Structure 1
Amino acid sequence: MPAAESYLKPDVIRQIARLDLRAEFIVKGFLQGLHASPFHGFSVEFSEHRKYTQGDDPKDIDWLAYAKTDRYYVKKFEAETNITGYLAMDLSGSMAYAGEGASGSDSITKFDYAICLAAALAYLMVHQQDPVGLVAFGQKIEQSLPPKSRRSQVGTLLSLLAGLKPQGETDVAASLTQLAAMLRHASLVMVFSDLLTDEEPVLRSLQRLRHGGHDVILFHLLDKAEVEFPFHGLVELEEPETGQRVELDADGYRADYHEAVAAFRERYREECFKSGVDYVPLDTSMPFDRALTEYLLQRRRRA
């Protein structure tokens, strides 16, 4: 059996059929990696603490934490501690795309990558007793699961994730606006999408979530082939949601394509930074720990 950290690699995860095992192995490898990182101990030891600030009652200082860290922390009340999280999954047909892997076989699809990452985040959140729920959207929100923190929520959520199928067109902006209207309390919204749609409406919907007091992590997921464009000669490309086809000279088009993808990602990076949205560009060849670390960074900022 491979070492635990190898389960952070998408090509290894692809060989595991059950989503619950995929999620467990990803989290196991991630937590083992934390032991050698600056995050060691943070997610467990200080998930129920925050830094002492002026105005806090000194009687609430945790002196054991001070002895370990030489810093003042106060114990959080439960209402302060819990982050309510929502996993927002894009069901567009384009998420089913998988380019050719290194061995010549298809790599993990963008959607499979997204649900593995979402499943691992659900494990982490429930481990920290944070309520987590799910929305899955195409043209609108098609399925939803209210957030809960009990351990049984993981099984329910994974079962729903495993049954989702990406197909047809999507309206990311309308779905996120619908989600914003559903949320009654400040939440952490984790969006998983390739964002292959008009940018302006999506950016406005992300701003609307932020203006509603919600924290947002945008996991922008592309296939490795969509980033690198490893094609040669005359190729026919098909738009998966509309079926529209175009024939082009891949070698002559490559430089323009790379420039367009870089500009696409840079636009989201800049606009998300302005809005206070955490933008995480990923491709299907990247180990899962990069995305999971972004979750811990978000949690640290909230603490």
Structure 2
Amino acid sequence: MNTEQYLKPEVIQQIKRLDLRAQFIVKGFLQGMHASPFHGFSVEFSEHRKYTPGDDPKDIDWLAYAKTDRYYVKKFEAETNITGYLAMDLSASMAYTYREELTKFDYAICLAAALTYLMVHQNDPVGLVTFGKEITRSLKPRSKRQQIGNILSLLAKLKPEGETDIAHSLTQLAAMLRHASLVMVFSDLLTDTEPVIAALRRLRHGGHDVILFHVLDAAEVGFPFRGLVEFQEPETGEKLQIDADGFRSDYQEEIAAFRETYRRECFQSGIDYVPLDTSMPFDRALTEYLATRRQRG
């Protein structure tokens, strides 16, 4: 899959229809952020009001005066530029796909592409870290348009392989961050739950806004298997043969509990938890989530 396919025109159009460029990134994304000062403020002209004594004469709109013969000043409102980091799980399990369509990794790249587009077009810098047992690669945050291509080009060259240590990698990331940032984590979370939740909490308590995109294959959620099936653990190679029909009910209970644990723990820590599977059109999954956050704001 080439990089252009990760950011389809129809996805961009959906995002634009929601007016996400201005309304969501600046206001919606930042709802719930800590009140700590963020670096890199810009101002945007919002409206006029009548000049009153004490106003800075530099703010007088002389064009408005020429038209109305009255003094008006431009009213400005501050916009906060936030630095975003995409944190991408590169473990072997992310390469899994049951129907040989989008792998979990491909699906995560689609989401990352759309989010990169949104942030760059709002002039918010966004960077990338990839991780397995530790952080393996990183791109410094930038807000230039070529950053979209930089991020997608790197991701398109990578192959998910090997084991993962999400908790250790997120702890490394937290140590890298110098200012309060928006951290977007993409992972199937197929590892011990407690250390990951502890690492996510440390990120949040460090003043960062955290969004956890939990990406599973549709088969990992729905369990469509029948009869005697052999499964192989992608990171260790260990094999297990089971009766899928007899195992289905217990499995579905376990996967529901797995997701619910993350949902509950993230909610309690002020982290956004977004459960996804590869059967969901990634553009719809993203835009529905963004709209939900915007309404909450």
- Give TM-score, length-normalised by structure 1: 0.78
| Structure-2 change in CA distance of 1:292 and 1:136 (3 Å) | farther
- Give TM-score, length-normalised by structure 2: 0.80
* Rounded Cα–Cα distance in structure 2 between residues aligned with 1:46 and 1:204: 29
- Runs of at least 5 residues in structure 1 that lack an aligned partner in the other structure: 1-16, 52-59, 65-73, 101-105
Does 2:188 align with 1:204?
Answer: no
Measured against aligned partners, the alpha-carbon deviations of 1:95-119 in whole angstroms (never above 9, x if no partner) come to: 000012xxxxx22100110111111
Q: Name the residue aligned to 1:215.
A: 209
Does 2:290 align with 1:291?
Answer: no
State how many pairs are aligned: 257
Asked if the contact 1:48–1:76 (Cα under 8 Å) also holds between the matched residues in 2, the reply is: no
Specify which of 11, 19, 22 is matched with residue 41 of structure 1. Answer: 19
1:18 maps to amino acid: N
What displacement does 1:41 show?
Answer: 3.2
Specify which of 156, 178, 181 is matched with residue 184 of structure 1. Answer: 178
Q: Name the residue aligned to 1:25.
A: 9
- Correspondence list, 1:119-134, <5 A: 119-134=113-128
- Correspondence list, 1:14-93, <5 A: 17-25=1-9, 27-31=11-15, 35=17, 40-41=18-19, 43-44=21-22, 62-63=46-47, 75-77=76-78, 80-93=79-92
**1:62 aligned counterpart, secondary structure:** strand
Runs of 4+ in 1 over 4 A off after TM superposition: 45-51, 295-301
Q: Name the residue aligned to 1:277.
A: 271
* Rounded Cα–Cα distance in structure 1 between residues aligned with 2:117 and 2:247: 42
* Rounded Cα–Cα distance in structure 2 between residues aligned with 1:226 and 1:255: 13
1:93 maps to amino acid: A
Q: Give the RMSD, CA atoms, in angstroms.
A: 2.5
1:19 maps to amino acid: T
* Rounded Cα–Cα distance in structure 1 between residues aligned with 2:263 and 2:179: 26
- Correspondence list, 1:122-271, <5 A: 122-271=116-265
Measured against aligned partners, the alpha-carbon deviations of 1:252-294 in whole angstroms (never above 9, x if no partner) come to: 0000000000000000000000000000000001012222443
* Rounded Cα–Cα distance in structure 1 between residues aligned with 2:10 and 2:131: 25
Structure 1 or 2: more strand by fraction: 2
Asked if the contact 1:86–1:187 (Cα under 8 Å) also holds between the matched residues in 2, the reply is: yes
* Rounded Cα–Cα distance in structure 1 between residues aligned with 2:23 and 2:198: 37
**2:7 aligned counterpart, secondary structure:** helix
**1:113 aligned counterpart, secondary structure:** helix
Asked if the contact 2:132–2:166 (Cα under 8 Å) also holds between the matched residues in 1, the reply is: yes
* Rounded Cα–Cα distance in structure 2 between residues aligned with 1:179 and 1:220: 18
| Structure-2 change in CA distance of 1:201 and 1:46 (3 Å) | closer
What displacement does 1:76 show?
Answer: 3.8
* Rounded Cα–Cα distance in structure 1 between residues aligned with 2:82 and 2:4: 23
2:97 maps to amino acid: A
